Amino acid sequence: MPFTLEQRAEWRRRNRARRVEIDGRLVAAYLPEERHGGAWADHGCQCEPCSAANKAHSAASAKRRRARWYARRALVNGVLVSPDVRQHGTTRAYKHFGCRCASCGEAERVGKIETGRVRRAEIRARRVMRDAHWFSPDTPRHGTWTSYSYYGCRCVPCREHHNTHQRQRKTS
Ligand SMILES: [Zn+2]
Ligand SMILES: [Zn+2]
Ligand SMILES: [Zn+2]
């Protein structure tokens, strides 16, 4: 194992150069099997277990970073406001810095609606006509409220579900 930081960096570089491409991923095939899942940092291995470990690690450090920003917030008029936000009224300020001031909260609310609207339009655009009714290929489960209203599916189970629902609402 190398000692200085420079030596370590050099060692890592050399390890990376030794990787071979397997199914479009650069894999440190020179390592024994039991090393995989932890060889992404030192060896740049992109095999499935190593990539998964890498992903989990970056997710965890992003979470830690966010927790640090969140901890710096202060209560102002009953809401948590971040002193690190340079521009309020953005979804980034809301999510990344956790700023809950009125303008950041509004930005997040509008952003959510906007994303929902775009996604809904995309989903609906992908529907196909089947037996003279719209059918959504994206629906995870037919015959559900989500499928009918969100995905806009009008297949037999979805319409049936919707109809029974309507009837129930009227009678109750
Ligand atoms: Zn690996
Ligand atoms: Zn704010
Ligand atoms: Zn359906």
Q: How much distance in Å is there from the Cα of 66 to the middle of ligand 2?
A: 15
Q: How much distance in Å is there from the Cα of 154 to the middle of ligand 3?
A: 5
Q: How much distance in Å is there from the Cα of 135 to the middle of ligand 3?
A: 6
Q: How much distance in Å is there from the Cα of 62 to the middle of ligand 2?
A: 20
C-alpha distances in Å from residue 73, one per residue of 65, 66, 68, 80, 93: 13, 11, 9, 6, 12
State the DSSP H helix or E strand holding residue 130, giving kind and residue range, or none if neither. Answer: strand 128-130
HSE toward the beta carbon, residue 95, CA cutoff 13 A: 9
Q: How much distance in Å is there from the Cα of 22 to the middle of ligand 1?
A: 11
If asked whether residues 121 and 131 sit together in one domain, one would say: no
Domain count, the chain: 3
Backbone phi, psi, residue 136, to 5° = -100, 120
If asked whether residues 88 and 133 sit together in one domain, one would say: no
Cβ atoms 158, 147 nearer than 8 A: yes
If asked whether residues 134 and 106 sit together in one domain, one would say: no
Q: How many angstroms separate the CA atoms of 157 and 28, rounded?
A: 50
If asked whether residues 104 and 151 sit together in one domain, one would say: no
Q: How much distance in Å is there from the Cα of 58 to the middle of ligand 1?
A: 16
Cβ atoms 127, 136 nearer than 8 A: yes
HSE toward the beta carbon, residue 169, CA cutoff 13 A: 6
If asked whether residues 62 and 90 sit together in one domain, one would say: no
The model's pLDDT over 122-132, given as tens digits with 9 standing for 90+, comes to: 999 999 999 99
Backbone phi, psi, residue 89, to 5° = 90, 25
If asked whether residues 161 and 143 sit together in one domain, one would say: yes
Its domain, for residue 115, covers 72-125
pLDDT of residue 167: 75
| pTM of this structure | 0.57
The model's pLDDT over 27-73, given as tens digits with 9 standing for 90+, comes to: 999 999 999 999 999 999 999 999 999 999 999 999 999 999 999 99
C-alpha distances in Å from residue 21, one per residue of 35, 51, 168: 18, 14, 59
If asked whether residues 21 and 61 sit together in one domain, one would say: yes
